[in-house]
A and B are shown apart, each in its own frame.
Chain A
Amino acid sequence: GAGVSQSPSNKVTEKGKDVELRCDPISGHTALYWYRQSLGQGLEFLIYFQGNSAPDKSGLPSDRFSAERTGGSVSTLTIQRTQQEDSAVYLCASSPGQGPLTQYFGPGTRLLVL
């Protein structure tokens, strides 16, 4: 597609359940990023993938959060044993590579943990 796509657009889950959020980057973009946008915390970096390099996981808030990127394209962000404080909008972005390149953002997945 023309832009970054994310699914689902909205997700409601119960505390303690696992969730998976999906991101399809712009075709040909080798770099992929996850951010979280929540009230009181603003926009926070979570994780960054660049090609076949080891991902930069330094922004993941706890070991309940993990992400993978299969085949250098689609990425899945998994949150295990969700907590209410995980409620946020999870944003994915991609760029053509690393270096001084612009990140293009998707519409986000709004997660609500009850």
Chain B
Amino acid sequence: AQSVSQHNHHVILSEAASLELGCNYSYGGTVNLFWYVQYPGQHLQLLLKYFSGDPLVKGIKGFEAEFIKSKFSFNLRKPSVQWSDTAEYFCAVRSTDSWGKLQFGAGTQVVVTP
């Protein structure tokens, strides 16, 4: 069965620390990949996406992610986090033979302490 795995459910780190959130998927064909973020009390917002081309994609607020096809991974990174990055982060995958369905990971709750 197709699935998306996020390795960490909760991450706590201090401001200025580096962040890396893991995401692995199990789809056999071509995929689109996304990271969404949900800040406290707000709705899901797109951080970044990969459709094709350069596997290193840059998103908003200094986030980036790297698609490694051989590892079926799409890890999210930020070199130096801020308190305002406290949020829940969701990896999502969509296969190109099923445009309508985003398959989400379980989410990672990130808490950044001042």
Count residues on chain A whose CB falls below 8 Å from chain B CBs.
Answer: 23
Whether B96 lies near A98 (C-beta < 8 A) is no
Contact of B96 among A50, A100, A105, A108 (CB under 8 A): A100
Chain A residue numbers with a CB within 8 Å of B101 are 45, 48, 56, 58-59
Question: A42 to B43, Cβ gap below 8 A?
Answer: no
How many positions in chain B have a CB within 8 Å of any CB in the partner chain?
Answer: 23
B74-106 CB mask vs A (1 if < 8 Å, else 0) is: 000000000000000010100010111111111
Tell me, rounded to whole Å, the shortest Cβ–Cβ distance linking B75 to chain A: 19
Secondary structure of the A contact surface, majority rule: strand
Q: Indicate if the CB atoms of B43 and A45 lie closer than 8 Å.
A: no
Tell me which of B42, B46, B96, B107 contacts A42 (CB under 8 A). Answer: B107
Asked if B16 lies at the interface with its beta carbon under 8 angstroms from chain A, I say: no
Contact between B99 and A45, CB atoms less than 8 A apart: no
B107 and A45: CB pair below 8 A? Answer: no
Contact A107 B107 (CB under 8 A): no
Report the bound CA distance from A105 to B38 in whole Å.
Answer: 11
Chain B residues with CB under 8 Å of A104's CB are 46
B46 near A108 with CB under 8 A, answer no
User: A43 touching B104 by the CB < 8 A rule?
Assistant: yes
Known: A42-B105, A104-B46. A98 touches B32 (CB 8 A): no
CA distance A91 to B38 in the complex (A): 12
Check if A88 is an interface residue, CB within 8 A of chain B.
Answer: no
Q: Contact residues of A with B, CB < 8 Å?
A: 31, 33, 35, 42-45, 48, 50, 56, 58-59, 91, 98-100, 102-108
Given contacts A33-B102, A43-B107, A45-B102, could you give 8 more A-B pairs where the C-beta distance is less than 8 Å? A31-B100, A35-B102, A42-B104, A42-B107, A43-B104, A56-B101, A91-B44, A100-B99
27 residue pairs from A and B, CB less than 8 Å apart: A31-B100, A33-B100, A35-B102, A42-B106, A42-B107, A43-B90, A43-B92, A44-B104, A48-B100, A48-B101, A50-B99, A56-B98, A56-B100, A56-B101, A58-B101, A98-B99, A98-B100, A99-B99, A100-B32, A102-B34, A102-B46, A102-B49, A103-B102, A104-B46, A105-B43, A105-B44, A107-B43
